[in-house]
Structure 1
Amino acid sequence: MKVFVGILIGLLVFMVLAIIGANAISGKDSVDVQNDPRVQAAIEERIAPIGQVNTAEVKQETAGGGGGADGKSVYDSACMACHATGAAGAPILGNKGAWADRIAKGNDTLFDHAINGFKGMPPKGGNAGLSDEEVKAAVEYMVAKANRPAAVTRDE
């Protein structure tokens, strides 16, 4: 019994010393990941490819067209990611049922939601570089697709 008690006391002393040692080592040299600018820079670098949107193609096409914004080009570059797949509850391009209630609210409401964001949709589809006219052109393109017969929408 004396040996058992001796072992328990020895383990207890070892555990206390290990805890004190760990606190002493990590207390001064620990990295505060919440406030360390190096850690934050590394995080931002890792997520940068996900958090950036390439809008050069849209700007080039709409700037050179002279005839106003091209709804299909804007849709292809900024809207397609969600409106082709239904991500975040987005109505799929050409799906009359999904668009009917939205279209019934009128273009002004659709434009407002597309420009300023609504529920899961970010403002301007997540591309702040788009002008209001470009966003409106994309909305008009999607509404036109929703009003066409399904066979026409699939072929285009």
Structure 2
Amino acid sequence: MSLRIIGVLFAAITFSAGTLATSVSDKEYDAIAERIKPVGDVYLAGAAPVVAERTEPRDGPTVYNTYCTACHATGAAGAPIKGNAEQWAPRIAQGMDVLTNHALQGFNAMPAKGSCMDCSDDEVIAAIKFLTDGM
């Protein structure tokens, strides 16, 4: 079979399928919707969504291990590795205010708050202190 014949057959089949899809009546559409609808819904009367509320701020190690470790344990995207004094020295030399501002606002590849959008500023600062502890 030549490529031209195959192309014509393909076009005819495509046109036919498009015509069938556009020729569905409202009644047929409703019947299809009825056949594929979910079997049921679950509703618990009076049940409120469960939202864990923190009563105390997270400490530095908790924030670090939850949000910071992926980059600061591996050096991903140029992040200084926790415990590597050589990598942290130039950053620490800029002062805690600059380091805090970079962590809170984002800097280079690091997103604001290291992507911990529900962290308070104090929690981020606790993580910075944990990251730079002993340097």
Q: 1:115 to 1:24 in 2, by over 3 A?
A: same
On the 8 A contact 1:69/1:133 being kept in 2, the answer is no
The equivalent position to 1:11 in structure 2, one of 2, 26, 35, is 2
> How far did residue 22 of structure 1 move?
5.2
| Paired residue total | 104
CA distance change for structure 1 residues 77 and 16 in 2, over 3 Å: closer, same or farther? closer
Counterpart mapping for 1:3-152 below 5 A: 11=2, 13-21=4-12, 23-24=14-15, 60=54, 63-64=55-56, 70-145=59-134, 147=135
Name structure 2 gaps, 5 residues minimum: 22-51
Identity over aligned pairs, percent: 42
Give the conservation status (yes or no) of the 8 Å contact 1:74–1:138. Answer: yes
Normalised by the length of structure 2, the TM-score is 0.64
Give the equivalent residue in structure 2 for 1:42: none
The structure with the greater share of residues assigned to helix is 1
Q: 1:12 to 1:100 in 2, by over 3 A?
A: closer
* 1: CA distance, partners of 2:3 / 2:64: 67
- The DSSP-based 3-state class of the residue aligned with 2:2 is helix
Give the TM-score, by structure 1 length: 0.57
Change in CA separation of 1:102 and 1:17 when aligned onto 2, cut-off 3 Å: same
Structure 1's unaligned 5+ residue stretches are 1-9, 30-55, 148-156
Q: In the TM superposition, what whole-angstrom CA distance separates every residue of 1:38-75 from its partner, at most 9, and x where no partner exists? A: xxxxxxxxxxxxxxxxxx7xx74xx44xxx65212211
Greater RCO, CA 8 A, separation 6+ = 2
Q: CA RMSD in A?
A: 2.5
1:18–1:78 distance in 2 versus 1, CA, 3 Å: same
Partner Cα separation in structure 2 for residue 99 and residue 25 of structure 1: 66
